[in-house]
C-alpha cells in the first residue's frame, strides 16, 4: 500500500508522476533528456544503465520497466539484461560499457565511491568524457527515482505483459509528460481503464 493517498491506480513511479503535476512534469522531462536527449551513448546503453542501477537498488518497477525498454532497443530477447544480472564482468556488452557500468555501480553506492582508477579504466576502453558524465548523471538520477518510489511505498509491480507494453512505449516515444491541462483527463482515463480491468478479472 502507498504511504500517501494518491487516488491514482498506477504501478510504480507512474502513480507519483500524476499525483503532483508540477514535479511529475519536471521529473519526466529530466528522464527524457537523460535517456532520449543528445548523448554519445546509445538509447539502449542508457536504458541499460537505468535498469542496472535500479536492480542494484532493488527497485523492481524501475528495473523491470527500463529492462523492457533496453530489451526493445537492443532487440536481443533480454539476453544482455539477463547476462548483466548474472555477472556484470561477463555481461554481453563491450568492454567500454562494462567499465561504464562499473562506474554506475560505484555511483549507486555513493558518489564518493567513484574512483579515479575506474574513470581511467573507462577512458582506456574508449569512453569519452561525455560518456562518463552521462553515465554518472543517469546513475545518480535513477538512485533518486528509485528512492522516490520506495520512499513513498509505491514500488508496486506491474503485470509482466504490462512491462512489455511500457518498455515499447518508453523506447519509442520516451518520457514526455502530457500538457498539464490534460492531466485530469489522463487520470480519469487511467481510472476508467482500471475499472474495466477489475471487471474483466472478476
pLDDT tens per residue across span 189-201:
888 877 877 777 7
Find which of 88-92, 155-159, 180-184 is predicted with most confidence, using mean pLDDT: 88-92
Mean per-residue pLDDT of the chain: 93
Give the CATH number of domain 12-201; options: 1.20.1290.10, 3.30.750.210, 3.20.20.70, 3.50.50.60.
Answer: 1.20.1290.10
Domain ranges of the chain: 12-201
Closest CA to 9 of 192, 159, 199, 201: 192
Distance CA 81, CA 74 (A): 10
pLDDT of residue 155: 66
Neighbours of 124 (CB within 10 A): 11
Q: What does pTM read for this prediction?
A: 0.91
Q: Which value, in Å, is the radius of gyration of the alpha carbons in the chain? A: 17
pLDDT tens per residue across span 14-69:
999 999 999 999 999 999 999 999 999 999 999 999 999 999 999 999 999 999 99
pLDDT of residue 174: 96
pLDDT of residue 15: 92
Neighbours of 21 (CB within 10 A): 19
The percent of residues in the chain predicted with pLDDT above 90, rounded, is 79
pLDDT of residue 1: 62
pLDDT of residue 183: 86
- Given a contact cutoff of 8 angstroms between Cβ atoms, the answer to whether 95 and 121 are in contact is no
Amino acid at each position: 500500500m502507498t504511504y500517501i493517498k494518491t487516488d491514482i491506480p498506477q504501478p510504480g513511479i507512474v502513480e507519483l508522476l500524476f499525483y503532483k503535476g508540477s514535479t511529475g512534469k519536471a521529473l519526466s522531462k529530466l528522464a527524457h533528456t537523460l535517456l532520449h536527449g543528445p548523448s554519445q551513448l546509445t538509447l539502449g546503453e542508457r536504458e541499460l544503465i537505468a535498469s542496472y542501477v535500479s536492480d542494484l537498488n532493488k527497485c523492481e518497477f524501475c528495473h523491470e520497466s527500463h529492462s523492457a525498454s533496453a530489451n526493445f532497443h537492443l532487440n536481443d530477447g533480454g539476453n544482455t539484461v539477463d547476462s548483466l544480472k548474472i555477472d556484470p564482468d561477463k555481461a554481453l556488452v563491450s568492454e567500454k560499457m562494462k567499465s561504464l557500468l562499473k562506474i554506475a555501480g560505484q555511483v549507486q553506492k555513493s558518489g564518493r565511491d567513484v574512483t579515479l582508477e575506474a574513470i581511467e579504466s573507462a577512458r582506456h576502453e574508449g569512453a569519452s568524457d561525455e560518456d562518463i558524465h552521462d553515465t554518472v548523471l543517469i546513475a545518480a538520477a535513477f538512485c533518486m527515482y528509485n528512492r522516490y518510489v520506495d520512499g513513498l511505498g509505491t514500488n508496486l509491480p506491474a503485470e509482466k505483459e504490462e512491462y512489455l507494453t511500457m518498455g515499447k512505449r518508453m523506447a519509442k516515444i520516451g518520457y514526455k509528460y502530457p500538457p498539464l491541462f490534460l492531466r485530469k483527463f489522463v487520470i480519469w482515463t487511467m481510472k476508467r481503464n482500471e475499472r474495466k480491468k477489475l471487471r474483466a478479472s472478476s
